[in-house]
Amino acid sequence: MNIREETEMREKQLLSPYASCSENSKGRERLEEECDIRTVYQRDRDRIVHCKAFRRLKDKTQVFLSPQGDHYRNRLTHTLEVSQIARTIAKALSLNEDLTEAIALGHDLGHTPFGHAGERALDRVCSLGFAHYKQSVRVVERLEKNGAGLNLTWEVRDGILNHRTKGNPHTLEGQVVRYCDKIAYIHHDMDDAQRAGVITEDDIPITLRMLLGYTTRERLNTFVHDLVQNSRGKEKIAMSPEIEEGLRDMRTLMFQDVYLNPAAKTEEQKAEHVVEELYAYYSKYPEKMSEEYRKLLHQEEEKERVVCDYISGMTDQYSLDTFRELFIPKRWNVQGKEQ
pLDDT at 194 over 70: yes
pLDDT at 64 over 80: no
As a whole number, mean pLDDT of residues 316-328 equals 96
Question: What is the tens place of the pLDDT at every residue in 146-159?
Answer: 999 999 999 999 99
CATH of the domain at 293: 1.10.3210.10
Residue 280 lies in a domain: no
Residue 335 lies in a domain: no
Residue 239 lies in a domain: yes
**How many alpha carbons fall within 13 Å on the CB side of residue 160?**
32
Q: Are 212 and 243 in contact (CB under 8 A)?
A: yes
Residue 50 lies in a domain: yes
| pLDDT given at position 121 | 97
pLDDT at 336 over 70: no
Model confidence at 170, pLDDT cuts 50, 70, 90, reads very high
Q: Are 183 and 85 in contact (CB under 8 A)?
A: yes
As a whole number, mean pLDDT of residues 197-205 equals 93
Question: What is the tens place of the pLDDT at every residue in 245-267?
Answer: 999 999 999 999 988 887 666 78
Model confidence at 182, pLDDT cuts 50, 70, 90, reads very high
| pLDDT given at position 53 | 98
Model confidence at 10, pLDDT cuts 50, 70, 90, reads very high
Domain count, the chain: 1
Residue 163 lies in a domain: yes
| pLDDT given at position 335 | 60
Residue 322 lies in a domain: no
**Share above pLDDT 70 across residues of the chain, in percent, rounded to a whole number:** 96
As a whole number, mean pLDDT of residues 185-197 equals 91
Query: How much is the pTM?
Result: 0.95
| pLDDT given at position 337 | 58
Model confidence at 127, pLDDT cuts 50, 70, 90, reads very high
| pLDDT given at position 264 | 60
| pLDDT given at position 65 | 76
Model confidence at 5, pLDDT cuts 50, 70, 90, reads very high
Lowest mean pLDDT among 5-9, 142-146, 181-185, 256-260: 256-260
| pLDDT given at position 262 | 78
CA end-to-end span of the chain, whole Å?
A: 66
Amino acid at position 182, single letter: K
Domain of residue 296 covers 39-261+288-316
Question: What is the tens place of the pLDDT at every residue in 67-123?
Answer: 666 788 999 999 999 999 999 999 999 999 999 999 999 999 999 999 999 999 999
Helices (DSSP H) in the chain: which residue ranges?
Answer: 3-14, 40-49, 52-56, 75-92, 97-106, 115-125, 132-138, 154-161, 172-195, 206-212, 216-231, 241-254, 262-265, 268-284, 291-297, 303-312, 316-327
What are the two backbone dihedrals, phi and then psi, of residue 17, each rounded to the nearest 5 degrees?
A: -65, -15
Residue 241 lies in a domain: yes
Question: What is the tens place of the pLDDT at every residue in 262-305?
Answer: 766 678 889 999 999 999 999 999 999 999 999 999 998 999 99
Model confidence at 63, pLDDT cuts 50, 70, 90, reads confident
Tell me, rounded to whole angstroms, the distance of Cα 72 from its chain centroid: 16
96: left (phi over 0), alpha (psi -120 to 50) or beta: beta
Q: Give me the chain's average pLDDT, please.
A: 94
| Residue 103: how many other CB atoms lie within 10 Å | 37
| pLDDT given at position 52 | 97
Higher-confidence residue of 41 and 196: namely: 41
pLDDT at 339 over 60: no
Residue 100 lies in a domain: yes
What are the two backbone dihedrals, phi and then psi, of residue 166, each rounded to the nearest 5 degrees?
A: -85, 5
